[in-house]
Every structure is written in C-alpha cells, then in structure tokens.
Amino acid sequence: MKTRLFFATLVCLFPLPMAAQTADEIVKKALDARGGINKIKAVESERISGKVSFSHGLEGTIVLELKRSHKLHSEIIVEGQKILRVYDGKSAGWTVNPFEENKDVQVMSAEELKGMPDEADLDGPLVDYKTKGTQIELVGKEDLDSKPVYRLKLTNKNGDVRSYLIDASTFLTAKWEGIRKIGDRELPWGCALSDYREIEGLKYPFKIDQGSPGTDFQQTLTIEKIEIDPKMDESHFNKPASPQTPAAPSLNSPRHLK
C-alpha cells in the first residue's frame, strides 16, 4: 500500500511523458484546424483577391481563381500591365507576361507544368496525401519565431521535397520551405502564412510572405477577399487570347504559391 502511494506521489511530481505525436496525428489535427476534411473537400471553387508587393517598391493587384479539378487562372496587374497564368487542370498551361521580350501567349514549360497540379490543388498537400503519392515524415519539434512548431517533411511523387511547419498550439501551417526553380537557378524558398481568418467555416491565411533569402525574389500577398464556390466559366481555363500590350521594362514574373 505504501509503495503504491509513493509511486502515485512520484507521478504527481514527475508526470509520465506523453506518447510522441505521429505524422498522421499532426496531419489530422492540421486538417481539423482548417475546418475539417469534409468541409475542405466540399469546396468546388475559390476566388482570392488582394494586393501584392515586390522588392524595389513594386506593387500590384492579384485575382487567383481555382476550380476542381486542378484548374487555375491567375491575373496580376502591375504598372497597368496584366500578367496571366492559366492551367486547364489536365496537361496544358499558358502564361502572358508583358514584362518579358515575348509578350504573346506562351506555352508553359515542362518544368512548370510538372508543378501545376500541386499549385492548383484546392485541398492542399495534406488532404489524401497517400492517394496523391506523397510521403510525410515527422522530423521533430522546433521553434519558429519563438513559437513551437512541428516540422513535417513532404516528398511528392515527383521527388520534390518541402518542409511544412505546423504551429504546435493552433495546428495551422505557419510556414513551408523548399526549393523553387527560377530560370536556370534553383533557389531555397520560404513561404510564411499568417493572419488566419475564418471564411464559411474554413481557416485561410490573409497574409503570405514568400521569397528566397538573400535575393531580390521577395513578395508579400495581402488578401482582401476570399469567395467560396463563385461561378466560373470553363472557358476561363482555356488558352487565353493574344494580348495587345505596349512595350514595358523588364520584371521578374511573380508566381502564386499555395
């Protein structure tokens, strides 16, 4: 009896360690924090509108439209010029960049097309990740800006690797880190997500800071409005018409990052 009481006292003074979290447990909590997998998968389309700022003081507006399955239409206006990125959700994509030498409609490169299904994924990388051919490893727990986060390592079916940092208290994604290819360069890339707000029962970040450390590739997206299931014409995801644009100075084309 005395032995049992002594052991109980020790447990109170020195609680037994909790079982370690698993990758799947972190994933489930992250999806629940966003609003739950059923609500996430019930969304058929999204329209995201806001402002975007780049290094050197450039600013513009952005409207991003996503529709199942994997359709994307991105429109950024900078200095009165419209930059377009369109993906049909299958195998074809196009860009229009008036800040480049060739201002006509361009077919996306094979490298860019490879990443479009992930970029245009309404659900995000954690939903049905095994079905998508993605492997997830829980690397461990660390601090990000003095807050504890879980680091998940995601390796998709193409072999691309990203790390997702999940806030240990809210279980919302605080940041992801990976590699981005810009031209012929492969650069380390980071994307910090903050100012989460609830829209129709789902949590969305309203501020996204992204870029490559130590370079001019920096941009901030400030979201002003998110529409759930707006009506979108299928033709919006077809090859865009050839633009009629005046000459413009050189500018690195920004990309949306989900």
Cβ-Cβ contacts under 8 Å for 89 (sequence gap 6 or more): 67, 68, 69, 70, 71, 72, 120, 237
In this prediction, residue 182 carries a pLDDT of: 80
Retrieve residue 154's tokens: 């995601």
Residue 219's CB is within 10 A of a number of other CB atoms, namely: 21
The one-letter code for the residue type at 125 is P
In this prediction, residue 43 carries a pLDDT of: 98
The answer to whether 89 and 70 are in contact (CB under 8 A) is yes
φ and ψ at residue 255, rounded to 5 degrees: -125, 150
CATH top-level class of 26-237: mainly beta
Query: What is the distance between the alpha carbons of residues 190 and 59, in angstroms, rounded to a whole number?
Result: 20
Residues of the chain with pLDDT below 50 are: 1-19, 245-258
Summarised one tens digit per residue, pLDDT across range 195-234 is 999 999 999 999 999 999 989 899 999 999 999 999 998 9
DSSP-based three-state secondary structure for 11: helix
Question: Domain-by-domain residue ranges, the chain?
Answer: 26-237
* Residue linked to tokens 């409005």: 225
The one-letter code for the residue type at 94 is W
In this prediction, residue 247 carries a pLDDT of: 45
φ and ψ at residue 120, rounded to 5 degrees: -95, 15
